[in-house]
Structure 1
Amino acid sequence: MPLIALTGGIASGKSTIARRLAEHGAVIVDADQIVRDVQSPGSPVLERIAAEFGAGMLRPDGALDRAALGAVVFGDPEALARLNAIVHPAVATESHRRFAAAFEADRDAVVVYDVPLLAEARAGDRWDLVVVANAPVETRVRRLVALRGLSEPEARARIAAQADDDTRLALADVVIDTSGALDETIAQTDALWERLAGS
């Protein structure tokens, strides 16, 4: 019943690895989905975000205006720290609940926590293995521009708002190099699964 942390910077290919592990049978707990869930309309987290950053962070339907919030916090480390102080504890609580539920359903499950901000928020948690998806910054900038429509300055700001590569790699038990072709990433992920399934 290993609990695996899978992390990587934005546009590092982490989601590709998570999808492949899911195809093999891993239970994926998605931190980004948990963030969306704990920030749902009417939630205490969303109410605190609106109180901290203003009612302009809410859309007319009461949902979080992610673009408005992103415009406030990206590039402003102090504002980002205030946001993280609201969101991270709620995400940690909910993720632990989902880990427990997965192991209760199948005590032999391989549970993978797909978490972009491991180095920033969860490095001290107890993981059986930490897997880092890694690609050079310039590769990730190109992906963000080509695949997500960001400008180059926006892409660089998003990357700069996260932990640097050295900090992430220092946590790694396994590094998957995602800078090459997709089938190379898949092959490395398959090798990881063989290791996990045999543990």
Structure 2
Amino acid sequence: MSNWILGLTGGIGAGKTAATTYFESLGIEVVDADIVAREVVQPNTPGLNAIKAHFGSAVLNHDGQLNRAKLREVIFSDESQKDWLNKLLHPLIREQIITQLAEAKSSYSILCAPLLFENGLQSYCQKTLLIDVPESVQIIRTASRDNVSQEQVKNIIAAQMSREEKSQLADYIVNNDKELADVQSELLSLHKIFLQAAKNY
């Protein structure tokens, strides 16, 4: 991959989507690891075929789509099944991410991944940007957005790398706990830095 890539990450509810949407409005292509993760298990993909062969058709919906809730139930209580699934999906997702980044045509491109650092995806990126908010904001935003309990959100946050660790690893940090216009003007300044870096790359 010869193009300049920004890795963008942030905890659940931090506002990664608002940030990537803004970059897209500036003409920057975004490869989203969450979307890729869904693409590699679409019907008739090697990913879904392998899942069906391993877990049986109980993990599929009537229309042949993956039943994520059912699959989560199966792997949640069994660490070895979870490992099997990760070993299957991670290489497929990685391969697809690399392909999509290589095909990006914008001045630079963005790899958006909630587990950017945890999965070592920052190794594909020239710089990294952390979209950050206080944990209390994460909890309130996510609970109302996903219609889940605050307890559940706390568990998800606890399972992710801490904000402190991410802050130490990131090259740039944008605090998203303020007015959208302020966040966007900060992102615009960074966009200019990234354009220059990409030009010199």
How far is 1:134 from its partner?
0.9
* SS of residue paired to 1:29: strand
Confirm or deny that 1:57 pairs with 2:55: no
How far is 1:184 from its partner?
2.5
Q: Check the 8 A contact 2:7/2:122 in 1, yes or no.
A: no
Q: 5+ residue gaps in structure 1?
A: none
Q: 5+ residue gaps in structure 2?
A: none
Confirm or deny that 1:41 pairs with 2:71: no
Task: Spell out, residue by residue over 1:132-180, the C-alpha distance to the aligned partner (whole angstroms, 9 max, x if none).
Answer: 1111222111111112211122212222332222332232000111122
Task: Tell me which of 140, 143, 155 is aligned to 2:141.
Answer: 143
Residue of structure 1 in register with 2:160 after alignment: 162
TM-score (norm 2): 0.86
* SS of residue paired to 1:198: helix
Alignment of 1:96-135 (within 5 A): 96-102=98-104, 106=105, 109-123=107-121, 125-135=123-133
RMSD: 2.2
TM-score (norm 1): 0.86
- Cα distance change on mapping 1:96 and 1:32 into 2, 3 Å: same
Residue of structure 1 in register with 2:190 after alignment: 192
- Cα distance change on mapping 1:168 and 1:50 into 2, 3 Å: farther
Work out the CA distance in 1 between the residues paired with 2:101 and 2:45. 21
Alignment of 1:59-74 (within 5 A): 59-73=61-75
How far is 1:54 from its partner?
4.7
Work out the CA distance in 2 between the residues paired with 1:78 and 1:165. 28
Residue of structure 1 in register with 2:22 after alignment: 20
Aligned residues: 195
